[in-house]
Amino acid sequence: MTNKELDETLEERINTSTKSSTRSGLKKVVDRIIEGYDWAYTNYPITTKYVSTAVGTIGGDIIAKQFTENSHVSSRDIVITGVASIGYSLLAEKVMDWSNKLTDKLGEFEKYKQRVKESRLGHDIHNAVILTIMYIPVNLIYWNLLSFKNHQPISVENNLLGLATCCLTSIPYLYAEYIAITKLNNPNTRKYLRPFYSAIEIGWNILTAGGNYVAKKI
């Protein structure tokens, strides 16, 4: 083996070892975060549910404001989005329960029996669609709360705009609801529902608000 080949082999081994160490380190960090969340949820369930919801609601609003002309976040902003966090925190599991029941009821009809009751995939897809639709009026209420926060009129026109916005944004959220239905719809994983929604909301606000900001600058 030439010196060049030896150097390349050594470099490859170092890179492989570094990647393996990085993956192992990240896994340990994730495991510690999950362990910490599980401990908090077990000992302080109400507080943990609220905080994990507020991270997305309050944090998402703060992120969205950074891409506007007025990026200042006031205590009023935090209080109002904090109130919204209470509602979302209380509704998360209840809305999923209602969606489960409606989907099961739908499967009892002969027309949908084969597609819903007798197919696991069909049941999950219909459940995700129902869950997404059920959140539209909830999100419309939040739209009005944000309108109040931003000193915008709460009018019929504004609500029609809000309804259209909620319906359009529900399309990409459908996949998130499908993941929630298939991965977080049992007693052992329900506790991760709120941080999951918070992560989706923060990611969505970064994409939409950031994209809108970039588009205006072009």
What are the tens digits of pLDDT across the range 119-161? 889 999 999 999 999 999 999 999 999 888 888 888 999 899 8
Q: What is the mean pLDDT of residues 112-116?
A: 82
pLDDT of residue 73: 85
Statement to judge: residues 57 and 161 lie in one domain: yes
Dist. CA 145–CA 183, nearest whole Å: 31
pLDDT tier, 22 (very low <50, low <70, confident <90, very high otherwise): low
pLDDT at 211 over 70: no
Statement to judge: residues 106 and 198 lie in one domain: yes
Half-sphere exposure of 212 (CA within 13 A, CB side): 12
pLDDT tier, 21 (very low <50, low <70, confident <90, very high otherwise): low
- Mean pLDDT, rounded, of the chain: 83
Higher-confidence position of 75 and 211: 75
pLDDT of residue 133: 93
pLDDT at 214 over 90: no
| Residues 91 and 134 sit within 8 Å (Cβ to Cβ) | no
Statement to judge: residues 98 and 168 lie in one domain: yes
pLDDT of residue 12: 63
pLDDT of residue 67: 73
| Residues 92 and 50 sit within 8 Å (Cβ to Cβ) | no
Statement to judge: residues 124 and 23 lie in one domain: no
| Of 40-44, 132-136, 213-217, the least confident | 213-217
Statement to judge: residues 113 and 16 lie in one domain: no
Minimal CA–CA distance to 201: which of 38, 41, 72, 55? 55
Dist. CA 182–CA 174, nearest whole Å: 12
Identity of residue 11: E
Sign of CA dihedral 100, 101, 106, 108: positive
Q: What tokens does 91 get?
A: 């509704």
pLDDT of residue 66: 79
Statement to judge: residues 33 and 90 lie in one domain: no
Identity of residue 113: K
pLDDT of residue 70: 75
Range of the domain at 96: 46-217
Q: What percentage of the chain carries pLDDT values higher than 90?
A: 38
pLDDT of residue 176: 92
Statement to judge: residues 132 and 210 lie in one domain: yes
pLDDT of residue 20: 61
pLDDT at 13 over 60: no
Minimal CA–CA distance to 96: which of 88, 106, 108, 107? 88
pLDDT of residue 7: 47
Number of domains in the chain: 2
Statement to judge: residues 159 and 117 lie in one domain: yes
Statement to judge: residues 14 and 71 lie in one domain: no
| Residues 73 and 158 sit within 8 Å (Cβ to Cβ) | no
